[in-house]
């Protein structure tokens, strides 16, 4: 009887190990799939397209030719209003979803072309969540009219709701600090050209490499500056208990527009355009393929 119980335990353990190994192999297959690597490029191109639209909306806002919100929601609605817009938006949805899945594999396996520490994995998780939300926002714009409220108004509404509670103001303040840190990190990494390590620069000729790095550097710094301003305004809204100051990218753009001559906003708008153009180069030359892990 004892031998039978021992044999049953061994059999159960063996079955569990086979299931775990099978699941691990399946996860490896997905993470190393060439199709996932290609879909990641679609996601990178989708991100690039949105930043180009954001840059154009920012410039239009400077010259008074657009009153639409200068954020992702405004960009989606701008695209949707075109005759070919809905089709393009669905392609962007696929791209954002693909990008999010690719980033989730980095949470499990580490960055492609980068590190595999806790910091890198958490950063990949944050990016995955951000693009899942972006994907849902695009679907909302496609399928309903509720998005006309705009993400800036939604941000203010959420901040106002949170600030009704004592812990809510602290949470909003912490979110602002996190955004400032993220933005400052982007600016630093852009200045130091840290993004180059993710690119297959050996496939570029010297002129192309110089152009791509210049666009990436300028664009990443401009993008980081937007995050810093959004974070600062969010923190200020919490400290002063004024939810109207927390409005996301749109509020940051409008704040920059109030600077003398709107000079800062023009620079940032051009920077967002530069980041968008760099994004298409990144979609072409980014390291997205992952090799199979050894067992």
**HEC readout, 71-132:** CHHHHHHHHHCCCCHHHHHHHHHHHHHHHHHHHHHHHHHCCCCCCCCHHHHHHHHHHHHHHH
- Name which residue leads in pLDDT, 112 or 246: 112
Flag whether 271 is in a domain: yes
Q: Of 47, 224, 253, which is closest to residue 150 (Cα–Cα)?
A: 253
The reported pLDDT for the residue numbered 9 is 53
Flag whether 9 is in a domain: no
The reported pLDDT for the residue numbered 265 is 82
The reported pLDDT for the residue numbered 1 is 55
The answer to whether 250 and 70 have CB atoms below 8 angstroms apart is: yes
| Rounded distance between C-alpha atoms, residue 14 and residue 16, angstroms | 5
Flag whether 41 is in a domain: yes
Block residue for tokens 């110089």: 210
Flag whether 219 is in a domain: yes
The reported pLDDT for the residue numbered 21 is 47
Number of domains in the chain: 1
Instruction: Tell me the two tokens of residue 16.
Output: 């569990």
The answer, yes or no, to whether residue 217 has pLDDT greater than 90, is: yes
Query: Vertex 250, ends 211 and 50: CA angle to 5°?
Result: 40
Rg of the chain over Cα atoms, rounded to whole angstroms, equals 22
The answer, yes or no, to whether residue 282 has pLDDT greater than 90, is: yes
The reported pLDDT for the residue numbered 119 is 85
Model confidence at 190, pLDDT cuts 50, 70, 90, reads: very high
The answer, yes or no, to whether residue 248 has pLDDT greater than 80, is: no
CB atoms within 10 A of CB 125: 15
The reported pLDDT for the residue numbered 157 is 55
| Rounded distance between C-alpha atoms, residue 176 and residue 39, angstroms | 32
The reported pLDDT for the residue numbered 87 is 92
| Rounded distance between C-alpha atoms, residue 255 and residue 262, angstroms | 9
Flag whether 68 is in a domain: yes
| Averaged pLDDT score across all residues of the chain | 79
Q: How far apart are the first and last CA of the chain?
A: 36
Flag whether 52 is in a domain: yes
Give percent above pLDDT 90 in the chain. 31
The reported pLDDT for the residue numbered 245 is 58
DSSP letter at 165?
A: S
Residue-wise pLDDT for 27-63, tens only, equals 566 566 778 888 889 999 999 999 999 888 888 887 7
Q: Of 230, 229, 204, which is closest to residue 215 (Cα–Cα)?
A: 204
The reported pLDDT for the residue numbered 108 is 84
Give the domain range for residue 200: 17-285
Flag whether 229 is in a domain: yes
The answer to whether 232 and 180 have CB atoms below 8 angstroms apart is: yes
Count the residues in the chain.
295
The answer, yes or no, to whether residue 75 has pLDDT greater than 60, is: yes
The answer to whether 80 and 142 have CB atoms below 8 angstroms apart is: yes
DSSP letter at 244?
A: G
The listed range with the strongest mean pLDDT (6-10, 32-36, 76-80, 238-242) is 76-80
Flag whether 58 is in a domain: yes
Q: Of 239, 238, 237, which is closest to residue 252 (Cα–Cα)?
A: 237
| Rounded distance between C-alpha atoms, residue 167 and residue 152, angstroms | 22
- Name which residue leads in pLDDT, 255 or 134: 134
- Name which residue leads in pLDDT, 117 or 148: 117
């Amino acid at each position: 009887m004892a031998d039978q119980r021992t044999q049953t335990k061994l059999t159960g353990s063996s079955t569990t190990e086979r299931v775990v190994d099978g699941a691990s192999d399946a996860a490896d297959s997905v993470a190393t799939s060439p199709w996932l690597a290609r879909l990641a490029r679609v996601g990178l191109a989708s991100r690039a397209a949105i930043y180009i639209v954001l840059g154009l909306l920012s410039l239009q806002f400077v010259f008074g030719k657009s009153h639409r919100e200068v954020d992702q929601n405004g960009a989606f609605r701008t695209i949707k209003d075109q005759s070919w817009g809905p089709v393009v938006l669905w392609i962007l949805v696929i791209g954002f979803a693909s990008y999010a899945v690719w980033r989730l594999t980095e949470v499990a396996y580490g960055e492609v072309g980068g590190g595999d520490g806790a910091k890198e994995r958490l950063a990949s998780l944050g990016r995955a969540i951000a693009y899942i939300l972006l994907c849902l926002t695009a679907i909302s714009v496609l399928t309903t009219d509720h998005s006309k409220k705009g993400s800036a108004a939604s941000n203010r509404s959420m901040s106002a709701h949170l600030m009704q509670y004592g812990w809510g103001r602290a949470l909003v303040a912490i979110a602002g600090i996190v955004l400032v840190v993220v933005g400052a990190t982007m600016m630093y990494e852009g200045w130091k050209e840290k993004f180059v390590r993710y690119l297959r620069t050996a496939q570029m000729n010297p002129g192309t490499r110089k152009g791509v790095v210049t666009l990436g550097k300028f664009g990443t710094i401009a993008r980081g500056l937007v995050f810093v301003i959004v974070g600062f305004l969010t923190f200020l809204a919490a400290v002063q208990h004024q939810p109207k100051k927390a409005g996301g990218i749109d509020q940051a753009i409008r704040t920059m527009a109030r600077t003398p001559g709107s000079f800062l906003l023009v620079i940032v708008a051009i920077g967002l355009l530069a980041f968008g153009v760099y994004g298409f180069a990144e979609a072409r030359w980014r390291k997205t393929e992952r090799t199979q892990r050894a067992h």
